[in-house]
Structures are given as structure tokens and as C-alpha cells.
Structure 1
Amino acid sequence: MIHYSILPYETVMQGVEDVETPVEIVINGVTMQVQQINPHQATIVRLLSCNPQDYLNPQYAPGRLIEFQPVFAN
């Protein structure tokens, strides 16, 4: 992406480092990217599923709040 601006590069890119990257999770066999709000809640950012039916399911709509229990690998 090219961005033309009269502003200095430092001003334009200020705060980019503070943006959290979405996390990939699988819920009920559906892979999605979520933005974690707290350890038990997240907001769906986008689906990464290959199944077209998953995109029609309102339960997996982007922006929807989901709750889950984190599982830690040993």
C-alpha cells in the first residue's frame, strides 16, 4: 500500500505499534480471528472458514461477542 501525505512519516504512523493483532481460534470447528476483550470474551473480527454455510450463520457474524474458556497446552 502506498500512502502519499504532506505529513511526516512519524506523524502518520504514530500509534501503529499499539494496535493489537487478532488471534486465531477454532470454535465448533469454525476457524476465526477474534480480538480479545478479556480472558473469557472476544469479538469476532473475521471468519477463516472454507464452509460457505458458516458465513450465513448469524452466530459467527463479525462484531459478535463470544465467550469461551481458554485451554492452555502443557
Structure 2
Amino acid sequence: MTFHTILPLEIVLDGIDDPKRMRRTVEIRTGGMLLEVEPVGDGCGRIVRLLDCPLDAYLDPALNPGNLIRMQP
């Protein structure tokens, strides 16, 4: 993969080896879709990305990355 940027390499790779900065995510299946979600507490999670879903799901504002959803146990 080629990555083109005007940023210095030190900024791009800053913290790449720091495990504390790595997000802890889980994959959940809801409504027939597979989502990568970052748990935030109280049974809620923040959507990181859609992994396996129909194409029209990308147009649903409720499934935008960063939105909170209820995580089923």
C-alpha cells in the first residue's frame, strides 16, 4: 500500500507502538449487519465502521461512524 501525505513521518507514526492509544473494538452483528464498535459503557458503543452490510446501509445516518448504538448482550 502506498500512503501519500504532506505530513512529516514522525507525526503520521506518532504513537503507533503505544498500546494505550489503540482502540479496543468488538465486532457485533445487529439487523443482519456486522459492525465494528468501540464500547463506551452502559451497553452502548460507538460505531467505528461497517464491516458487512448492504450498500444502502452506508446511506443511513443512524449508522454513521461516531454514532452511538445500543449493544445487544
SS at match of 1:48: strand
Q: Which structure's CA Rg is the greater one?
A: 1
1:46 Cα deviation after fit: 0.3
Residues 1:59 and 2:62 aligned together: yes
Equivalence map 1:43-58=2 (5 Å): 43-58=46-61
Residue 41, structure 1, aligned to residue 44, structure 2:
yes
Could you tell me which runs of 5 or more consecutive residues in structure 2 were left unpaired when the two chains were aligned.
2-7
CA contact (8 A) 2:39 2:45 kept: yes
Unaligned runs of 5+ in 1: 6-11
Q: How many residues align?
A: 64
- Matches of 2:31 and 2:68 in 1, distance apart? 15
TM-score for both structures, normalised by structure 1: 0.67
